[in-house]
Amino acid sequence: MSTPPSPLAPPTPSTTAAAGAVDARKTYGIGDAQVHALDGVTVSFETGKFSAIMGPSGSGKSTLLHCLAGLDTLTTGATYIGDTYLATLDDKALTELRRTKVGFIFQAFNLIPILTAEENIRLPMMLGGESGDKDWIDHVVATVGLGDRLKHRPSELSGGQQQRVAVARALASRPQIIFADEPTGNLDSVTGAEILSFMRNAVREFGQTIVMVTHDPVAASYADRVVFVGDGKITDEITDPTVDQVIDHLRNWD
C-alpha cells in the first residue's frame, strides 16, 4: 500500500487548485479477485469553491475522497493538498496535515461521544496544543447557532445539530480544505438543506474550500461544480449545476 507515486512526472499543482489527484489508482485484492476502486483518476479542485463528487455505490467516490484527504493511501499515482504531495509524508506529517490544513465532515459518527459539542469543535486545536483564533471560533460557534446546547454531549443533540457541530469543527481551525463524506446522508431534507446552505455560505463568505461526496442530486446542486465518478474513473463534470442537470446526468449512466 505504501508504493511511492507513479514516476510519471505529475504536473505542478496549479496555483488555484486546493487539492487533486494525478493518475490515482487504488487496487484491492490480488489476481482474479482484483478490484480497481480507483482506475487512473486525475482531477483537481479549485480553491475557494464548493465541489461535489457524485457517483453510484461502489463507483470509488468515497475512496477518492479518503485518498485526497490523506485518510487512505493509493496503490499508485499521487494526491496533493495545496503544494504538498501526500505520499511524501510520513504518518506524523500526515497527522499534522490533517490537524492543521484539513477539515472533515462525515455522514455519521462525527463527534467524540464523551465530549461536549463545544469541546468537539475545539478538538483539533486542542490536539495541537493551541487555543486557535478565539474571535474566529466564537464567530463560527455563533454562526452554528447552537446556543445553550453547546455544553451538551452529542447523544443529547439531534442529527441536524450534530452535523452543525461537525461543520463548525471543520471550520474552526480554518483549514485549507474541508472534505465532506455524505454530510446530509442521515438527515431529513429540511435539516439537510440547512446544513448545505451553511456549507455554501462558508464558501461564499469565508472563501472556504469544500469537497463533498454525495449521491443526492439536491445536495450536489449546492456545489459550484460536480465531478462524476464511475467504475473508478472520472466520467464527466458540470459547473453551477441545477438539480435537474444533475439528475439528467445520472440518468445517462443507466
Partner 1 sequence: MSAATLIARKSVRARWGRTLAILFAITASVSFVVGSFVLADSLRATFNNLFQELNEEVDLEVRASQAFESDDARDPIDVAIADSIRTVDGVAIAEPILQRYAQLLDANGDAITPPGGPTFGVSWEGDDGLQGVTVKAGRAPTGSGELAIDKATADAEGFAVGDTVSYLTDAGTFEGTITGTVGLGSADSFGGAQLVALDLDTALVHFGADGKVDAIDISVDDGADVAAVQLAIEAILPPQTEVVTGEEVAQETADNVNQFINVFGTGLLIFAFVTAFVSAFIINNVFQITIGQRLRELALLRAVGASGRQVRWMISTEALVLGVLATVFGVIGGIGVANLLIFLFDAAGAGFPDTQTVLQLRTVIVAALVGIGITMASVIVPSRRAAKIPPVAAMRPELGFAAMRSRRLVAGAIVTVIGIVMFLVGLFLRPGGTPGLIAFAGIGALVLFLGVASLSSTVATPVTRVIGWPIEKLFKVPGSLARQNVARAPRRTSSSASALMIGVALVSGTAVFASSLRASLIDTLESAISADYIITDTGFQGLSPVVSETLAAVPELEAVTPIRGISGQVDGGRKDFGAVDPIAFDKLVDPDLQEGTVADLGLDELLLHKDPANDLDASIGSTVEVTFQNGVERTLTVAGIYGDATFGNWLIGLDTLAEISEAPSRDFFVIAKLGDGVDPVAGDAAVQAAMEPFPQANVQTNAEFLDSQEAQINQLLLVITLLLAFAILIAILGISITLALGVFERTREIGLLRAVGMNKRQTRRSVRWEAVIVSTFGALVGIVVGTFLGVILTLAVPDDVISKLAFNPTIIVAILVGAVIAGLAAAIYPSFKASNMNVLEAIATE
180-209 positions binding partner 1, by CB under 8 A = 181
Report the residue number, 126 or 142, with the smaller CB distance to partner 1: 126
User: Which pairs count as long-range contacts for 153-157, CB under 8 Å and 24+ apart, including other chains?
Assistant: 153/113, 153/114, 153/115, 153/116, 153/117, 154/111, 154/112, 154/113, 154/115, 154/117, 154/120, 155/113, 157/117
Report the residue number, 111 or 202, with the smaller CB distance to partner 1: 111
Q: Which stretch in 38-46, 52-60, 106-114, 214-222 sits in contact with partner 1 by CB under 8 A?
A: 106-114
For residue 129, state whether it binds partner 1 (rule: CB under 8 A): yes
Among residues 51, 79, 84, 110, the one that binds partner 1 under rule CB under 8 A: 110
Answer for the pair 92, 108: CB distance below 8 angstroms, yes or no. no
For residue 149, state whether it binds partner 1 (rule: CB under 8 A): no
9: number of Cβ within 10 Å: 7
For residue 62, state whether it binds partner 1 (rule: CB under 8 A): yes
Among residues 23, 39, 119, 231, the one that binds partner 1 under rule CB under 8 A: 119
For residue 113, state whether it binds partner 1 (rule: CB under 8 A): yes
The b/e string for 221-252 (b: 16+ C-beta within 10 A; e otherwise) is bbbbbbbbbbebbbeebbeebeeebbeebbee
For residue 107, state whether it binds partner 1 (rule: CB under 8 A): yes
Edge-first strand order for the sheet with 50-54 is 102-105, 177-181, 210-214, 50-54, 225-230, 233-239
Q: Which stretch in 36-44, 75-83, 115-123, 203-211 sits in contact with partner 1 by CB under 8 A?
A: 115-123
- Residue for grid cell 457541530: 165
What is the Cα–Cα distance from 225 to 198, expressed in whole angstroms? Answer: 17
Residues β-bridged to residue 233: 230
Q: Which stretch in 13-21, 42-50, 112-120, 241-249 sits in contact with partner 1 by CB under 8 A?
A: 112-120
For residue 174, state whether it binds partner 1 (rule: CB under 8 A): no
Residues contributing to the site for partner 1 (CB under 8 A): 62, 66, 71-72, 91-92, 95-96, 98-100, 104, 106-115, 119, 123-124, 126-129, 169, 181
